[in-house]
Structure 1
Amino acid sequence: MSTPSISAPDFAGHDFDYIVIGGGTAGLAVAARLSEDPNLVVGVLEAGPEALQDNAINSPGQFLQILGTKYDWQFETVPQEGLGGRALAWPRGRVLGGTSALNLMTWNRGNKEDYDAWEQLGNKGWGWDGLLPFFKKAEAFHAPDKKTQSANREYYEPGAIGTDGPVHASYSKQYSKTHQLCYDALVALGIPENKSHHAGSNVGVWTNPVSVDPDRNTRSYAAPAYYVPNSSRRNLLVLTEALAHEIILEQKSGQWTATGVRFSYGDDSFVAQASREVILSAGSVQSPQLLELSGIGNPQVLEEAGIEVRVPNPNVGENLQDHLMTVSVFEIDPNIQVKNLGAPASPFCYLPVSTAVSEEESKLLLSKVEILERSTPEKDEILRSRFDPEANLGQFEYIFELGNWNSNFHPDPSNGKRYASVLQILQYPFSRGSIHICPPNFSRKDGSRSTIATKPAIDPGYYYGEKGEVDLETMKQCMRFSDKLCKSTPLSSVVGSRVAPPSSVTSDADLRDWVARNTTTDWHPVGTCAMGGHDGIRSGVVDDRLRVYNVKRLRVVDASIMPLQISAHLQATVYAIAEKGARLILEDSVEKGT
C-alpha cells in the first residue's frame, strides 16, 4: 500500500485547484473524484497519521479497541442537564480515513422519506431519487450465494445496490446462534421481514451488512477505498499530520473569498493556496469549528472568542442532532458462545413508535408532540408526521448483541454469568444542540483568541427542554419493547432475567430516571453546517450545492450539511453526500468555464 509522502513545504508551495480540509470519510471520496480529471490538482490536509497497515483498524474484530487511542480526537460533550449532569465521550477519527476507520462498519441507508424531507425543505436534488445513484456509485456490494442467503436471511434488492464502487459491503461470514433466535422472535412478534432494506425502506427486521472486504476479511474504509487505488496520481497530494487552523479569506470584488488554508506541521506554520475552491470536510464537529475560527459564524460567539467577524451567520454550529441510545442487559444461557465473530453480525430492526408501544402509549406520545412550540415550523412538522400512526418509518432501531454493551453496568466477573444486550436507538430526535469554539482564558488586553488547539464546546442538548422531554418520554416507552422481545420465543429459550435496568426498576418514574442516567450516544452527529433550503441563510450554512452562504469558493461536504437526521447509521449516507458533492463541484467548474 502507498503512503502519503509529500513534505509540508512542498505542499504549501504547490499550485492547487482544490484543497480539501479533512482526509476522512467524505474528504478522501471528494478528492478522489475531483482528481479523476488529470487537469485538476487536488490537495488534502489530514490532521491524523496514515495507518494503512495497522491491524487494529484493518481487522473487523478489533473495532472497539481503536476508540480512545491516538486515532481518536477524543472529544467530549459539556455536562448534559438532561442526562443528570453527565458528559459523554464523542469519538471522532483522527487518522487518514477519518471516522470510517473507527466505526462499527454498519452499512445501511435511511428511508426514502428521510431524504425526500431534505428536498421538501427546499434542497433541490437531495431527495431519494437524487441520491440513489450516488449511494450505488460508492459501494461494491458482494451478493451472498443462494444457500447462504437463505440460511442467514441475507436479503437485498439487486436494482438498488452498487457493485463496482470503492467501498466493499458484504454480509458477515459467521453468525452466533442468537442471530436466528432473535430474528425468529421478531417475526413471531409480527415484525415483517424486509427483503429490500436498501431500496427506500428499512422498516422491519433484516440481517445487517457491513463495510468489510470479504476476500481479505478487512475493514473497507475511505483510505484503502478512495486513496490507495489513486495514490499514484500526480495530481492528488495528501499531507497527513497537518492541522488546519483557518481558511484564508480575502476580499475580492467586495465579497469574502476563500483562497487557501493556514495549517501547521509539527511546530511550523504554512499557507497553501487554492485557485478554485477550498472544500471543508472536517465533519460535524470540526467543520463548524473551522468556519468560526475563520470568521464565519455567530458574531457573539466569534467576538467572545476573540475572532474577527467576517461573515455573520448565526446558524454555524447550530442545529446539532444525534441518535440517542440506551442499552438493556439480560443474562443469557452460559452455553451460548460470547466470542468475537468479527464485525457486528446481528438482525437489525427498525420500528415505528406505533409498533413498539401500545396504542394508548402511542396516543400519549402523539399528544406531547402536537403541543410543541413551533419554532421551526417546516422541520418540526416533518418530525411530528413521523409520530403519525399511519407513518411507516423507523423511529427506533433495535439491535440484539452478545455481551454487555452498557458502560454503566459492571457485573462481577467471577460470577460466571454471561450477558446479552439490546440496543435501543432513537432515530428522529427533537433534541437540538450546538458546537462552538470556546472563549479562551484570555485578557482582552493581550489580544488572545481561540485556536484549533482548543477543543470546541459540544452541547447536544440531550433531553433538554420541551422538545427533549418528548425524546425522553419516547425512549422510556420504547425501551419496554426490549423486554417483550427477550420474553418471546424462541429467543426466550436462551435469555434469562434482565439486569439493566435492574428488576427493581418497574414504575414509569423509576424507568424515566434510569433512562436519563443511562442514555448515551450512537455517535451520529449531523446538521451543524446544514443546507438552508427555502430559507437560505436564515436557517442554514450552505445552499443545496453545498456552497457556504456569502463566501465565494468555499463549500462544506460532510455529514454536517444534513438538515434533518435520518433513520440509519450514517456511513453510507456520508459517502453518498461526498459523491454527490464532488459531482456538483465539477458541474459548477464546467459551467464557469474554469
Structure 2
Amino acid sequence: MFQDFETFCQLPLHYIIVGGGTAGLAVAARLSEDPEVNVGVIEAGPSALNGEDGGAITVPGRYGETIGSKYDWQFETTPQPGIGGRSLKWPRGRVLGGTSALNFMAWNRGHREDYDAWARLGNKGWGWDDLLPYFRRSETFHQPSAAHQQYYHSSYDDEFNGTSGPLHTTHIKQYGPAHQYWHTALNELGAASSPDSLAGSNCGVWNMVCTINPHRQERSYSASAYYAPVAGRRNLHVLTNATVLNVLIEMTNGEWNATGVRVRYGDEEKDIKTIREVILSAGSIQSPQLLELSGIGQRKVLEAAGIDVKIDNSNIGENLQDHMMTATIFEVSPTLSSRDDILNDTILREAADRAYYASQTGPWTVLPCSVAYCPLAQVASSTEQAQLQITAQNIAQETGRLQDELLGEQFDSTKKVRGQLEYIFDLGNWSTYFKSEPGKKYGTLLQMLQYPFSRGSIHIPAQQDPSRKSSVDDKPIIDPRYYQGPGEIDRDVMALGQRMAKRISQTEPLAKIIQKRVFPPLPEDLASEQSVYEDFVSNYTVTDWHPVGTCAMGGREGAKAGVVDDRLRVYGVRGLRVIDASIMPLQVGAHIQATVYAIAEKGAAMIREDWS
C-alpha cells in the first residue's frame, strides 16, 4: 500500500528496496509473500496506476510517448568520439514500474550460451538451466490460437513458457501490413523460422512476444503485474516521489554494514533504518551512482567527488555494455499505412482512439514484431569471419579478460551459433536523423549489435569546489565508449551487417513494397559500398536502450573483477545487495527485459533462502 512519508519512516522494515522499477517491484512482491517481514519500496517518480498517464503508458501502440516526459530521467551520454562526437539521449523510467513502463514491450530471452557464459566466469547458479525456472516464474504466456499460428507464424513451445506468473505475455492480436512478407523473405535468405525464440536459441526469423495483457490489450509491466494485484498486503509499503540520497554504511565490530538509507521527500530529509537488508534496484545507471555516493567505489572517483572512501572497489561503474542500433530508411508503397500516419493526422488518431477504447482493436494494438537474429556466418564471408576471429583473439590476449575471450567465441565457426545481429522491420520512419518528406511513406529496418566489445563507465562527477560533495542531483557521467578501443571491432561488424540489411530489402516478397533505399543512399558503385556503410554506422549509430554490467557479478575473481558475488551481495559490506540489470557480467543476445525479471525472481528467492 502507498504510505505517507512520516508513516513510512516509522515502519519496522526488514527490507528497503531502492527503486520501484522493473526489478524492484518484482523483488518486493516476492519478499512480501512472507507475512512475517515488512518490505519497503522507495521510488523517485510518481505512480501512474491511477490513469494519470492518459494512456501513454498503458496503450500498447502509443509506445515512445513517455520518452522525454516527466516519467523519464532524461539522461544523456558524454560526447562519443566513436560515433562522430555525438551525445545520445538515454531514457530511463522515473515512475512506479521504472523502464518497464517506458519500453517497447519486447519479450525475448538470450541464447542458452549467453547465460552459461556467466556461469563459466564462476557465477554459480547463473547458467541457462538455473535461470529457466525464474524466466517461467515471471510470466503467464497466452497461447495463440491455431488460426493465429497458421496466419501469422506465431509458434511456441509449452516447455519453455510460464503459465502462472504475474506478467502477461502474448503474441499480438494483429500485425502491420508488412509482416505478411517478413518470414518468407528471411526464409529465402537462409534464416529459418524459429519454433520458439524463448527456448534457448533465438537464431532465425520469428515474431516478438510482447508484455501485453491480451484480455485488456494493455501494457503488462511491473507496476500493473507485480505490484497492483498485491497492493493491499499489510506488509508491503511503497513510498513514491521520494529520492534516496545514499545508503547508510556504518562500521560495526570491524565490518561495514548497510543499516538503511537517507531519503529526501519534498524539503525533508530523514534516515530510514532496515532490520535486515538494503536492496539496490535502481538500474545500471543509478545503482553504481548510489554506491559511489555512499562511499563505495574507485578511490580516485570518490575523492574527486568529495565523498569519503569506505570501500575501495575499482569495478563499480565500470564494465558498461549496451546494444548499438542503426536505422536504415526505405521509401515504400504509398498505399501502405503506418503509425506515422496516425501520429500526424488528428482524424486518424481520433479513429484509432475510438477503436481501441470501444473494442480494444485497431492501430493502437499493433506493435513492431517482425524480428530476425542472424549469426555472423549469414552476414560475413568466411574470410571476413576468420579475420574478425583473429582480431577478437588479439583483444582477449591484450586485455587478459576472460569476458573478452568468451565474447570472441561468437566469431568461431566451430562453436555454437548465436545471433550476432538483430533485425526488425516496421513501416514508418524510425530515424531521428532522416526527415520525412510530405506525401511519402517509409519503412525502417533496425539493426542491433548483440555482443559488444565496447566497454564504458558510469560515475558520479568530480567537483571543482572542494567544499562541495557530489549529490544525487548531479547527473552521473555516462560514457559508453561506443566503437572505441577494443570496441572498434563492433563498428566492423555493424558495417558488415548493412550488407545483410540491403539483401533483406531486395528479397521478395518484402521487396515488392519497397521502392528504394533513402537513408543511407545507395553508393554510386560497389567499390564504395563498404565505405558508405562504415560512415553510416559511425555517424548514425544510437543506443538500443539496454545498458548492463556496471555492478557486475565478480565470479571466481571476486572483488578483483566485480561488484557483487553470485548471491548479489556487494563485496565488503554486509546487508547490501544489488538486483537489477547492472549485475550482468556479459551482455545477452536479446532485449533485456525478460532477463531483468528473471534476475529479480532469482534474487528474491536467494534472499528468502539466506534468511530462512
SS of the residue aligned with 1:580?
A: helix
Deviation >4 Å, runs of 4+:
none
Deviation string for 1:39-78 (max 9, x for gaps)?
A: 0000000000000112110110111111000000000000
2:497 matched residue in structure 1: 478
- Residue in structure 2 matching 1:351, options 374, 390, 394: 374
1:129-168, aligned counterparts within 5 Å?
129-168=129-168
The C-alpha deviation readout for 1:316-364, integer Å capped at 9, x for no partner, is 0000000000111111111122134535242211111111223333233
Bigger shift: residues 183-192 or 126-135: 183-192
Tell me, yes or no, if structure 1 residue 409 matches structure 2 residue 406.
Answer: no
Residue in 2 that maps onto 1:518: 540
Opposite residue 598 of structure 2, the aligned amino acid is A
Counterpart among 499, 513, 533 of residue 518 in structure 2: 499
- Counterpart amino acid of residue 360 in structure 1: T
- Shift, 1:441, TM fit: 3.8
Corresponding residue for 1:36?
Answer: 33
1:191 aligns with 191
Aligned partners of 2:443, 2:469: CA distance in 1, in Å?
48
Q: Deviations over 1:240-291 (max 9, x none)?
A: 0000000001111101100000010011101111010000000000000000
1:132 deviates by 0.3
Mapped contact 2:100–2:221 kept (Cα < 8 A):
yes
Equivalent runs, 1:422-461 vs 2, <5 Å? 422-442=445-465, 444=466, 447-461=467-481
Q: Deviations over 1:277-319 (max 9, x none)?
A: 0000000000000000000000000000000000110000000
State the one-letter code of the partner of 2:511: S
Taking the aligned partners of 1:376 and 1:556, their CA distance within structure 2 comes to: 26
SS, match of residue 516 in structure 1: helix
Closer/same/farther in 2, CA of residues 13 and 462 from structure 1, 3 Å limit:
same
Distance in structure 1 (CA, Å) of the matches to 2:262 and 2:412 = 49
Separation in structure 2 between the aligned mates of residue 500 and residue 214 of structure 1, nearest angstrom? 36
Deviation at 1:208? 1.0
Q: Which runs of 5+ in 1 are unaligned?
A: none
**1:19 counterpart (16, 19, 27):** 16
Asked whether the equivalents of residues 429 and 436 of structure 2 are also in contact (C-alpha less than 8 Å), the reply is no
1:288 aligns with 2:307: no
Residue 302 (structure 2) aligns with: 302
Report the TM-score, using the length of structure 1 for normalisation.
0.96
Distance (whole Å) between structure 2 residues aligned to residue 462 and residue 523 of structure 1:
13
| Partner Cα separation in structure 2 for residue 441 and residue 343 of structure 1 | 50
User: 1: distance between equivalents of 2:323 and 2:492?
Assistant: 15
Which residue identity is paired with 1:453? D
> What does residue 536 of structure 1 align with?
558
Determine if contact 1:104/1:343 at 8 Å carries over to the other structure. Answer: no
Q: Cα offset for 1:150?
A: 1.1
CA contact (8 A) 1:172 1:210 kept: yes
Matches within 5 A, 1:199-214: 199-214=199-214
Segment of structure 1 superposing worse, 191-200 or 68-77: 191-200
Tell me if structure 2 keeps the 8 A contact 1:63–1:343: no
Amino acid at match of 1:515: V
Aligned residues: 581
Match of residue 6 from structure 1: 3
2: CA distance between counterparts of 1:507 and 1:156?
39
Letter in 2 for 1:548: V
Structure 2 Cα separation of the partners of residues 507 and 386 of structure 1: 25
Q: 569, 593, 610: which one pairs with 1:571?
A: 593
In the alignment, what sits opposite 2:576?
554
The question of 1:396 aligning with 2:421 is answered: yes
Deviates more, 1:470-479 or 1:170-179: 170-179
Matched, 1:418 2:438: no
Shift, 1:97, TM fit? 0.2
Q: Give 2:603's aligned residue.
A: 581
| 1:267 maps to amino acid | D
Tell whether 2:69 aligns with 1:46: no
Query: Which is worse superposed, 126-135 or 355-364?
Result: 355-364
Structure 1 residue 374 corresponds to structure 2 residue 398: yes
Question: How far apart, in 2, do the equivalents of 1:146 and 1:394 lie?
Answer: 28
Whole-angstrom CA distance in 2 between matches of 1:51 and 1:412: 36
Matched with 1:468 is 487
The TM-score with structure 2 as length reference comes to 0.94
Indicate the SS of the match to 2:227. helix
Structure 1 position 488 matched with structure 2 position 507: yes
Counterpart residue identity of residue 571, structure 1: Q
Shift of 1:503: 2.2
The one-letter code matched in structure 2 to 1:96 is L
1:221-370 equivalences under 5 Å are: 221-339=221-339, 340-370=363-393
Three-state SS of the structure 1 residue aligned to 2:24 is helix
Query: Contact between 2:260 and 2:271, CA under 8 Å: does it hold in 1?
Result: yes
Tell me, yes or no, if the aligned pair for 2:14 and 2:275 is still in contact at 8 Å.
yes
Give the superposed CA RMSD: 1.1
Q: What one-letter code is carried by the residue in structure 1 that aligns with 2:307?
A: I
Q: Residues of 2 paired with 1:500 and 1:361: CA distance?
A: 25
How far apart, in 1, do the equivalents of 2:121 and 2:304 lie? 32
Partner Cα distance (1:376, 1:99) in 2 = 34
What letter matches 1:45 in structure 2?
I
Q: How far apart are the structure 2 equivalents of 1:203 and 1:17?
A: 43
Q: Is the 8 A contact 1:319 1:528 kept in 2?
A: yes
Deviates more, 1:231-240 or 1:334-343: 334-343
Moved more, 283-292 or 342-351: 342-351
SS at 1:64 equivalent:
coil
**How far did residue 144 of structure 1 move?**
0.6
Q: Secondary structure at the match of 1:44?
A: strand
Moved more, 569-578 or 357-366: 357-366
Would the aligned equivalents of 2:498 and 2:533 in 1 still touch at CA under 8 Å?
no
CA contact (8 A) 1:105 1:343 kept: no
Which of 6-15 and 121-130 deviates more? 6-15
Does structure 1 conserve the Cα–Cα contact (< 8 Å) formed by 2:90 and 2:545? yes
Partner of 2:128: 128
Q: Is the 8 A contact 2:3 2:238 kept in 1?
A: yes
Give per-residue Cα distances to partners, 1:224-252, cap 9 Å, x unaligned. Answer: 11111111111000000000000001111
Q: Using the alignment, how far apart are the partners of 1:314 and 1:234 within structure 2?
A: 41
- Tell me which amino acid in the other structure corresponds to 1:403: G
Secondary structure of the corresponding residue to residue 210 of structure 2: coil
Matched residue type, 1:377: R
